[in-house]
Amino acid sequence: MQFDGINYIAIIAATIAAFVIGAVFYGTLAKQWMKAVKIPEGQEPNMKPSLFAITFICQLVLAFMIAGVIGHLGDGQVTLSNGLISGFFLWLGIIMPTMTINHRYQDFGWDLTIIDGLHWLLVACVMGSVIGWFGV
């Protein structure tokens, strides 16, 4: 199941892994995250089913893009270690700076940037690793 070197099974596996990581990560840090996003204690965040669908679709797009970047390393370079390194570089050079800028303009504290940043670090590295492990 490939198209131009992209392994669709790897993309789906990476997306599912990222979705599960997000559920566990934010489930564990729910109180800290709610405080960081300024949701009053006792008030539940509005978690509509459509939010989860949008999250999954966006993570699917992210997995496709990470696979494309890893694939551009060349023949025989789609490996677990190259996937991990590529995920880290994309997080460090694109995801983290973008999120940091947005959080500063939205007047959120560094606590939210750290919580969300760690989440996206895990997501990018796991996606890259899964895609690299599956190979082309």
Report the DSSP beta bridge partners of residue 7.
2
Three-state SS at 40: coil
Q: How confident is the model at residue 45 (pLDDT cuts 50, 70, 90)?
A: confident
Three-state SS at 7: strand
Q: How confident is the model at residue 2 (pLDDT cuts 50, 70, 90)?
A: very low
For range 76-91, the mean pLDDT: 95
Contact between 65 and 72 under an 8 Å Cβ cutoff? The reply is: no
pTM of the model: 0.91
For range 22-39, the mean pLDDT: 95
- What per-residue confidence (pLDDT) applies to 119? 98
Number of domains in the chain: 1
Structural domain range at position 107: 2-134
